[in-house]
């Protein structure tokens, strides 16, 4: 790696400070013994973690969020991977149009998407809010699935699939024995990115929520609007810890370079 | 002679570009045929049509006497070695070589035996457990060969197989591929842009340009008698001149004689001016401007002389601007079609 200039280095340090320091304040306040979100924390205790993990709206919402993120990720990959292959390897008429369609949720304001889905799916088609959320989140994740797996497909040698065909594999067999394994790091990274994107989403989840099914970010947002207790800091800290653990595990298993490089070589 | 595969009036267009133009070509059973030509001549497109990766725009592809024009690659039973080798990175070397056998439902024990046999044939018997990326380029190339051979294909197709190897290894692999071909008796089609490779390896060579066959034949028939200027240039001929009575002819640099002095030209002798001289040890290359036209028009020629055969008079004449006479035996001149 080449040496960076002192200016670039200071900017990088400043950037990290701006991003990380506020988070540290949140983490610190989560350990308070007092009743209010205040820094410095008054005393040290884990009571707010107890509160957070036993507060039923949070635990319900956490399960809902996990369920939604998992299903939406699976659906987005199931639709996105074949779509990527068709766009990049197939002889698709108007492929840039199709690609644009799959990437469009990235550009459209999510509130508009949410509102449109609310009107069409819930009011017109009378789907329940879980179905509407699942469709909304899947659409939201499609660009990530298509882009990230697409990036690894660009790096993959097209002759690999030709070689498999030449050795006697049908197109379907080639897909499962060669294409998917070669794209595995790309698919894992698309899955991680999709899962986190769905899990953190607020705008679409906000518009499509109901009393029975509400995601964790929406529930937390709702909570903060009415209460200002350290329970929210504790919940945030738990989410942060879970994300860090996920990242470390992914790094251990695959390495970030491979996850974000996205190709099995 | 039996024909293993045949192109019958095969054309392929890409938009306005004609990559292959009504190709008729028979691939002889048990022989090594090379398709030779510059990039864009249609050789790779032809090979890929034979393998089933590109559909012909017109014409028929026959394999083993049957029409395979519409058959997908997996129904053709051909072994292909790609320029990039295309080894499956998520499988071991043995997994790669056994891939085609697994698909053919060859029982495990026999599969293991045939994988070992194929790896032995390419000299990699000990590397079955490695991953392809742990191997050198030359070893990867051998694995690709073993993988293609293991299925006992009807034809072995090689797409510029040596172009990614360093010069020394490339020359060594020419002999290796010939040896493997002789041991297995396989019919081989090899695509290359390297005329030396084609001359050394082929039983039959096919020179292509602009989607058409320019000339074909055994290397020792083809090299001394190029049919036209394109083939001659591609095979490394440098001297082209139009003689009043013979039209366009070519002659190899080492078959020219250069003598001092300004002698009038007969049919096979022309007077020339030395342009430059390059000493290369054994060989001395002399660039000349031969006076060929009536109005003093000149044609560039190159003569390759033996340095140890030069007399002191020769040496005295061989300097830029020196006047010499260039001659060749009439039977060393090859008439070209244009």
The highest-confidence range among B22-36, B244-258, B283-297, by mean pLDDT, is: B22-36
- 8 Å CB contact of B99 and A167: yes
C-beta of residue A246 within 8 angstroms of C-beta of residue A192: yes
- 8 Å CB contact of B147 and A167: yes
C-beta of residue B244 within 8 angstroms of C-beta of residue B315: no
B133 vs A159, A166, A265: nearest CB: A265
What's the confidence (pLDDT) of residue A28? 85
What's the confidence (pLDDT) of residue B266? 53
Q: What is the percentage of chain A residues whose pLDDT exceeds 90?
A: 17
Q: What residue spans of B17-127 are helical by DSSP H? A: 43-51, 93-103, 108-121
- 8 Å CB contact of A167 and B76: no
Average pLDDT of chain A?
84
Instruction: Compute chain A's Rg from CA coordinates.
Output: 22
Least confident window among B23-27, B35-39, B138-142, B259-263: B259-263
Least Cα separation, residue B252 to chain A (angstroms): 41
> Which CATH topology does B3-227 take?
Rossmann fold (3.40.50)
- Partnered with residue B34 across adjacent β-strands are B190, B205
Least confident window among A217-226, A254-263, B148-157: A254-263
Residues 6+ apart with CB under 8 A from B58: B9, B10, B11, B22
Residue A181, chain B, CB below 8 Å: the answer is yes
Give the whole-angstrom CA distance, residue B200 versus residue B192: 12
Residues of A with Cβ-Cβ distance to B103 under 8 angstroms: 167-169, 173
- 8 Å CB contact of A265 and B89: yes
What's the confidence (pLDDT) of residue B268? 73
Q: How confident is the model at residue A1 (pLDDT cuts 50, 70, 90)?
A: very low
Omega cis (within 30) before A40: yes
Least confident window among A152-156, A194-198, B143-147: A152-156
- 8 Å CB contact of A184 and B51: no
> What pLDDT, in 10s, does the model give residues B240-257?
988 877 888 999 998 998
Residues of B with Cβ-Cβ distance to A169 under 8 angstroms: 74, 99, 103
Give the whole-angstrom CA distance, residue B87 versus residue B94: 11
Mean pLDDT of B52-79: 94
Torsion of CA A59, A61, A65, A66, to 10 degrees: 20
Tokens of B179: 């040896």
What's the confidence (pLDDT) of residue A3? 61
Give the whole-angstrom CA distance, residue A135 versus residue A89: 27
Which residue carries 């790091």 as its tokens?
A185
pLDDT value at A2 more than 70: no
- Partnered with residue B239 across adjacent β-strands are B251
Give the whole-angstrom CA distance, residue A233 versus residue A244: 16
Q: How confident is the model at residue A79 (pLDDT cuts 50, 70, 90)?
A: very high
Torsion of CA A103, A106, A110, A112, to 10 degrees: -50
Residue A172, chain B, CB below 8 Å: the answer is no
- 8 Å CB contact of B88 and A169: no
Among candidates B152, B206, B141, B147, which has minimal Cα distance to B174?
Answer: B141
What's the confidence (pLDDT) of residue A254? 66
Among candidates B11, B174, B181, B159, which has minimal Cα distance to B86?
Answer: B159
Among candidates B155, B146, B150, which has minimal Cα distance to B189?
Answer: B155
Residues 6+ apart with CB under 8 A from A149: A77, A80, A81, A84, A183, A186, A187, A190, A262
- 8 Å CB contact of B100 and A181: no
Average pLDDT of chain B?
91
Q: To which CATH superfamily is domain A55-261 assigned? A: MetI-like (1.10.3720.10)
What's the confidence (pLDDT) of residue A36? 76
Give the whole-angstrom CA distance, residue A45 versus residue A33: 5
Give the whole-angstrom CA distance, residue A243 versus residue A221: 19
Mean pLDDT of B286-297: 80
- Partnered with residue B304 across adjacent β-strands are B285
> What pLDDT, in 10s, does the model give residues B7-20?
999 999 999 999 99
Among chain B, residues having any CB pair with chain A shorter than 8 Å are 51-53, 72-74, 76-80, 82-84, 86-90, 99-100, 103-104, 133, 147, 151
Q: How confident is the model at residue A184 (pLDDT cuts 50, 70, 90)?
A: confident
Least Cα separation, residue B52 to chain A (angstroms): 8
Least Cα separation, residue A105 to chain B (angstroms): 33
Domain boundaries, chain B: 3-227, 237-335
Give the whole-angstrom CA distance, residue A81 versus residue A97: 17
pLDDT value at A261 more than 60: no
DSSP assigned state of B300: E
Return the percent helix, strand and coil in chain A, to nearest 5.
Answer: 75, 0, 25
pLDDT value at A225 more than 80: yes
Residue A159, chain B, CB below 8 Å: the answer is yes
What's the confidence (pLDDT) of residue A259? 54
Residue A164, chain B, CB below 8 Å: the answer is yes
Taking one residue from A and the other from B, the number of pairs with CB-CB distance under 8 angstroms is 67
In chain A, whose CA is at the least distance from the CA of B97? A167
Strands B188-192 vs B155-159: parallel, antiparallel or unpaired: parallel
Mean pLDDT of A213-227: 87
Among candidates A238, A236, A85, A253, which has minimal Cα distance to A175?
Answer: A85
> Which CATH topology does B237-335 take?
OB fold (Dihydrolipoamide Acetyltransferase, E2P) (2.40.50)
Tokens of A48: 């707010």
- 8 Å CB contact of B79 and A181: no
User: pLDDT higher for B31 or A100?
Assistant: B31
What's the confidence (pLDDT) of residue A69? 93
> What pLDDT, in 10s, does the model give residues A24-76?
888 888 888 777 777 777 778 888 888 888 888 888 889 989 999 999 999 99
Give the whole-angstrom CA distance, residue B282 versus residue B296: 33
What's the confidence (pLDDT) of residue A260? 56
Residues of B with Cβ-Cβ distance to A173 under 8 angstroms: 103
- 8 Å CB contact of B73 and A162: yes
In chain B, whose CA is at the least distance from the CA of A168? B74
Residue A89, chain B, CB below 8 Å: the answer is no
C-beta of residue A227 within 8 angstroms of C-beta of residue A148: no
- 8 Å CB contact of A166 and B73: yes
Give the whole-angstrom CA distance, residue B119 versus residue B173: 15
Give the whole-angstrom CA distance, residue B76 versus residue B5: 11
Mean pLDDT of B56-76: 94
Q: What is the percentage of chain B residues whose pLDDT exceeds 90?
A: 67
Among candidates A82, A76, A83, A61, which has minimal Cα distance to A192?
Answer: A76
Angle CA B258–B263–B268, to nearest 5: 60
User: In angstroms, how far apart are the furthest CA atoms of chain A?
Assistant: 70
Residues of A with Cβ-Cβ distance to B87 under 8 angstroms: 163
C-beta of residue B155 within 8 angstroms of C-beta of residue B30: no
Least Cα separation, residue B276 to chain A (angstroms): 48
Angle CA B246–B248–B250, to nearest 5: 105
Tally of CB atoms within 10 A around A92 = 14
pLDDT value at B294 more than 80: no
A163 vs B86, B90, B133: nearest CB: B86
Least Cα separation, residue B181 to chain A (angstroms): 19
C-beta of residue B130 within 8 angstroms of C-beta of residue B93: yes
Least Cα separation, residue A248 to chain B (angstroms): 24
Element (H, E) at B211: none
Angle CA A83–A86–A87, to nearest 5: 85
Q: How confident is the model at residue A91 (pLDDT cuts 50, 70, 90)?
A: confident
Give ipTM to 2 decimals: 0.84
Give the whole-angstrom CA distance, residue B106 versus residue B151: 10
Give the whole-angstrom CA distance, residue B244 versus residue B248: 9
Q: How confident is the model at residue A152 (pLDDT cuts 50, 70, 90)?
A: confident
Q: What residue spans of A37-128 are helical by DSSP H? A: 47-54, 56-89, 95-103, 110-117
Domain boundaries, chain A: 55-261
Residues of B with Cβ-Cβ distance to A159 under 8 angstroms: 82-84, 86
Mean pLDDT of B61-85: 94
Residues 6+ apart with CB under 8 A from B114: B98, B101, B106, B150
Q: How far lies A164's CA from each of A169, B153, B243, B333, in Å?
A: 6, 14, 56, 50
């Amino acid at each position: 790696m080449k040496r960076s200039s002192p200016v670039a280095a200071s900017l990088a340090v400043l950037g990290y400070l701006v991003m990380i320091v506020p988070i540290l304040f949140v983490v610190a306040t989560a350990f308070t013994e007092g009743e209010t979100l205040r820094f410095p924390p008054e005393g040290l205790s884990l009571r707010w973690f107890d509160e957070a993990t036993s507060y039923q709206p949070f635990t319900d919402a956490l399960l809902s969020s996990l369920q939604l993120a998992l299903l939406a990720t699976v659906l987005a990959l199931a639709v996105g991977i074949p779509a990527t292959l068709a766009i990049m390897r197939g002889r698709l008429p108007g492929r840039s149009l199709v690609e644009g369609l799959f990437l469009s949720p990235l550009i459209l304001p999510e509130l508009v998407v949410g509102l449109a889905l609310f009107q069409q799916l819930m009011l017109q088609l009378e789907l329940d809010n879980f179905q509407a959320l699942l469709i909304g989140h899947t659409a939201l994740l499609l660009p990530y699935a298509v882009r990230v797996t697409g990036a690894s497909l660009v790096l993959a040698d097209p002759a690999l699939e030709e070689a498999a065909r030449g050795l006697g594999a049908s197109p379907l067999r080639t897909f499962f024995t060669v294409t998917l394994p070669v794209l595995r790091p790309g698919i894992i990274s698309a899955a991680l990115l999709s899962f986190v994107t769905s899990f953190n989403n607020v705008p679409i989840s906000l518009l499509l929520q109901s009393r029975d099914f509400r995601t964790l970010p929406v529930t937390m947002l709702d909570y903060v609007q009415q209460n200002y207790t350290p329970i929210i800091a504790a919940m945030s800290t738990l989410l942060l810890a879970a994300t860090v653990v996920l990242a470390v595990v992914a790094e251990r298993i695959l390495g970030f370079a491979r996850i974000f490089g996205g190709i099995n070589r | 002679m039996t024909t293993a595969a045949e192109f019958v009036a095969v054309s392929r267009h890409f938009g306005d570009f004609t990559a292959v133009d009504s190709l008729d070509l028979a691939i002889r059973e048990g022989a090594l045929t090379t398709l030779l030509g510059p990039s864009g001549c249609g050789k790779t497109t032809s090979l890929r049509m034979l393998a089933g990766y590109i559909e012909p725009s017109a014409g028929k592809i026959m394999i083993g006497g049957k029409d395979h024009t519409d058959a997908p690659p997996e129904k053709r039973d051909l072994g292909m070695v790609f320029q990039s080798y295309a080894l499956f990175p998520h499988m071991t070397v043995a997994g790669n070589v056994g891939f085609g056998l697994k698909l053919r439902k060859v029982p495990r024990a026999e599969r293991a035996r045939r994988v070992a046999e194929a790896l032995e044939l390419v000299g990699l018997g000990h590397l079955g457990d490695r991953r392809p990326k742990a191997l050198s380029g030359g070893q990867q190339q051998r694995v690709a060969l073993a993988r293609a051979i293991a299925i006992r294909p009807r034809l072995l197709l090689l797409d510029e197989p040596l172009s990614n190897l360093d010069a020394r290894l490339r020359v060594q692999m020419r002999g290796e591929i010939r040896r493997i071909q002789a041991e297995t008796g396989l019919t081989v089609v090899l695509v290359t842009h390297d005329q030396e490779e084609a001359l050394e390896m082929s039983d039959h060579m096919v020179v292509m340009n602009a989607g058409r066959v320019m000339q074909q034949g055994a290397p020792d028939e083809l090299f001394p008698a190029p049919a036209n200027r394109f083939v001659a240039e591609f095979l490394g001929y440098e001297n082209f001149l139009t003689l009043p009575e013979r039209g366009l002819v070519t002659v190899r640099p080492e078959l020219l004689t250069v003598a001092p002095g300004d002698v009038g030209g007969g049919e096979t002798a022309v007077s020339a001016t030395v342009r430059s001289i390059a000493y290369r040890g054994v060989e001395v290359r002399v660039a000349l401007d031969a006076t060929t036209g009536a109005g003093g028009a000149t044609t560039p020629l190159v003569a390759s002389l033996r340095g140890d055969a030069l007399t002191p008079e020769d040496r005295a004449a061989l300097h830029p601007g020196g006047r010499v006479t260039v001659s060749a035996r009439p039977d060393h001149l090859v008439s070209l079609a244009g």
